[in-house]
Amino acid sequence: MEQVTDYFGSLVFDDKTMKSKLSSDVYKSLKKTIQDGKELDISVANSVAQAMKEWAISLGATHFTHWFQPMTGITAEKHDSFISPDSDGRVIMEFKGKELVKGEPDASSFPSGGLRATCEARGYTAWDPTSYAFIKDKCLCIPTAFCSYSGEALDKKTPLLRSMQAINKQALRVLKLFGHTEVTSVKTTVGPEQEYFLIDKDAYLKRPDLIYTGRTLFGAKPPKGQELDDHYFGVIKPRVQEFMNDLNKELWKLGILAKTEHNEVAPAQHELAPIFSTTNIAADNNQLTMEIMQKVAKKHNMVCLLHEKPFKGVNGSGKHNNWSISTNTGLNLLEPGDTPIENAQFLLFLVAVIKAVDEYQDLLRISVASASNDFRLGANEAPPAIISMFVGDDLALVLDSIETGKPLASKGSNSLKIGVDVLPKLPKDATDRNRTSPFAFTGNKFEFRAVGSSESISCANIMLNTAVAEELKKFADILEKSKDFENDLHDLIKKTIIEHKRIIFNGNGYDESWVGEASKRGLLNLKSTPEALPHYLNQKNIDLFTSHEIYSLSEIKARYEIAQEHYTKVVNIEASTALDMINKYYLPSITKFSNFLIESYKNKKDLGLDITYEENTLNIISSSTANIYSLKTKLEKALEYAKTITKIEELSMYLKDNVLTIMSDVRDIIDELELIVSKEYWPFISYGDLLYSVK
């Protein structure tokens, strides 16, 4: 029987494969490039390309592509075959170093936020050797960064790599102060949990709203939803288990460390969680995971829905971004440790994260902002839109002791002095889990729970890495000048706790009282994407990105424009789809049912039978139909008016406040009618049939 170990990573040009396929000198040179970020010598690139081509062809590959992540949020690829003509009119299989390290896709049709005009087509892809090449659908995929002819980043990978470089630089400065001269690199690691829905493909094809928008724009709640909590961690249905088995195999072939699978809270909802990877590799792997989920689902005549809120009234889907910081020597910098010096180091990194989340809460909110995620955040199924941190009771007591100088309960009469006293022994899981917190400490990592299920994790980690790099820089600037390191370290940690403890909230984020409490603390409550996005251009955020060379000013403005434009396009598509469904399906179908009731009313009245049902139902339908038509007309006018708004900020706010409000109002009426109109006349498959379509 074939074992997982036999095929794990078999489609990846990983370190083991490179060792076996490359000469010792070429391998060492490539590893040096990966570790030090130096440019690859063309002769080495040629050797790597030759070995990579032969390996790929041996596994059935016929093409290669520079696989990149433009600002669409998904991946892109342009396939070129290995074939080249020879002098005899036949072909040879060829792949050169220059084709490995550099590509030239058209840059004009991808979102650029003004960085590229339509007539400015040239763009470049550059190999990212830190992320292994892999084979997908008989094509050698080479992970790359994507930039414009003039050098601006047009993708999500480039700024992510820059942010990793920034936190590495500043963390090394801090670690040297603690005597860690042996550490040569610091990397953030991520384990993104991926939630998703599976529904039958035949059922999916009966819903144009799902096809066009990824979510149901209409639909009454079924008699049974998630009330009994019987789906969560329940027995996995055979058809779903077959899907999961195939999914695991495809992911494992690509070296993706898929580890955990289970049923989630909502009917038809599931989750997959991987083992931690270096952040840029985790981002690549998560993009692949989402793509392969959808491909494998189709093979099982199912559809994988990644939208954050495909069904109103049941839980939506997130992507919990488990984030930590580690050294090349194997040290987790968010592990409390057992000795005073380890305790002090941990606390400094901890308060750096606390300060970063407090000062850049707007950026963290922006990093998870989208038209689809707006339906999920704050809906008592996901964290609120207010960014806060959970650290747990044990750490809260430690931080309080440092702030006040009062004794720590378990330390007798001594107050906690950094570098002198030892922290109380904290188990690996030093905190309970708080599923209502957007940013929770869970033992030796932080779980950023607000990320949406369909989103790339790159943006969230760019913001996190850069914000923490900034605070570590400020700490290093202070401590490198210190003449009394221990006391200055203690004072710095204490000062940071006092100034930024407002961001720490260990309570129930779903409780309505938290909104008022957060307001008193001065925390932001950016409920929607249009409210959050303008903060992108706050001067402090521009200064953050430009000082660490994550984005230039033009790159920041471009991403702001793209995010705003994406929001407006999504809402326009949804509104147009809703109108199409109302005009072509709902109103005609409801009218047909009304006609049926009218005929029934006449016949029963002529026979002297009770007509209460027909009379009352017709009154409800008549009134509801009039309201639907009125709101439908109002929605059409709103979309027409939206076309006259030239400023993108005003447009997105108008769509949120007017168009989405009208859509919600008309949905409420149609959903109520679904409960009384005969199924024979209702034009679309119901929620119950969708959510329970996979047997």
pLDDT digits (tens, 9 = 90+) for 514-561: 999 999 999 999 999 999 999 999 999 999 999 999 999 999 999 999
- Residues 219 and 105 placed together within one structural domain of the fold: no
Sign of CA dihedral 179, 185, 186, 191: negative
Question: Nearest Cα to 588, choosing from 683, 690, 475, 479?
Answer: 683
Q: Domain for residue 495, yes or no?
A: no
pLDDT reading at 120 higher than 80 = no
Domain termination site, one of 317, 341, 366: 317
- At 119, the pLDDT band (50, 70, 90 cuts) reads low
Domain termination site, one of 317, 341, 365: 317
Q: Domain for residue 339, yes or no?
A: no
Q: Domain for residue 48, yes or no?
A: yes
- Residues 150 and 8 placed together within one structural domain of the fold: yes
The mean per-residue pLDDT over the stretch 77-81 comes to 91
Burial 294-326 (b: 16+ CB within 10 A, else e): eebbeebebbbbbbbbbbbbbbbbbbbbbbbbb
- Residues 86 and 208 placed together within one structural domain of the fold: no
Per-residue pLDDT tens digits for 335-345: 987 776 678 89
Strand 63-67 versus strand 139-148 pairing type: parallel
CATH code where residue 94 lies: 3.10.20.70
pLDDT reading at 407 higher than 50 = yes
Q: What is the pTM of this model?
A: 0.93
CATH code where residue 249 lies: 3.30.590.10
Least reliable range by pLDDT among 267-276, 290-299, 423-432, 501-510: 423-432
Q: Domain for residue 530, yes or no?
A: no
Q: Domain for residue 466, yes or no?
A: no
SS3 521: helix
Per-residue pLDDT tens digits for 17-45: 999 999 999 999 888 887 766 677 888 88
Per-residue pLDDT tens digits for 182-199: 999 999 999 999 999 999
Output the pLDDT for position 409. 61
Output the pLDDT for position 556. 96
- Residues 114 and 251 placed together within one structural domain of the fold: no
Q: Does residue 138 come out as left (phi exceeding 0), alpha (psi in the -120 to 50 range) or beta?
A: left
The mean per-residue pLDDT over the stretch 153-177 comes to 96
- Written as six digits, the tokens of 103 are 């590509």
Question: Nearest Cα to 445, choosing from 640, 676, 83, 192?
Answer: 192
Output the pLDDT for position 443. 83
Q: Domain for residue 363, yes or no?
A: no
- Residues 149 and 198 placed together within one structural domain of the fold: no
Domain termination site, one of 129, 155, 181: 155
Output the pLDDT for position 412. 44
Total count of domains within the chain: 3
- Residues 606 and 672 placed together within one structural domain of the fold: yes
- Contact of 497 with 403, CB cutoff 8 Å: yes
Q: What angle do CA 446, 131, 270 make, to 5 degrees?
A: 50
The mean per-residue pLDDT over the stretch 225-235 comes to 85
Which residue range forms the structural domain that includes residue 56? Answer: 4-155
Provide the mean pLDDT of the chain.
Answer: 91
Question: Nearest Cα to 576, choosing from 208, 313, 73, 72?
Answer: 208
H or E element, residue 103: strand 102-103
- Residues 208 and 151 placed together within one structural domain of the fold: no
- Contact of 234 with 265, CB cutoff 8 Å: no
Output the pLDDT for position 393. 84
Per-residue pLDDT tens digits for 204-215: 999 999 999 999
- Residues 227 and 145 placed together within one structural domain of the fold: no
Output the pLDDT for position 148. 83
The percentage of the chain sitting over the pLDDT mark of 90, rounded to a whole number, equals 75
Per-residue pLDDT tens digits for 278-294: 999 999 999 999 999 99
- Residues 612 and 669 placed together within one structural domain of the fold: yes
Output the pLDDT for position 411. 44
Spatial distance between the Cα atoms of 612 and 595, rounded to a whole number of angstroms: 16
- Written as six digits, the tokens of 613 are 């049902």
Q: Domain for residue 283, yes or no?
A: yes
Spatial distance between the Cα atoms of 103 and 353, rounded to a whole number of angstroms: 38
Cα of first residue to Cα of last residue in the chain, in angstroms, is 29
Q: Domain for residue 516, yes or no?
A: no
The mean per-residue pLDDT over the stretch 61-84 comes to 90
- Residues 40 and 149 placed together within one structural domain of the fold: yes
- Residues 199 and 150 placed together within one structural domain of the fold: no
Spatial distance between the Cα atoms of 269 and 318, rounded to a whole number of angstroms: 11
- At 106, the pLDDT band (50, 70, 90 cuts) reads low
- Written as six digits, the tokens of 481 are 């000048």
- Residues 150 and 204 placed together within one structural domain of the fold: no
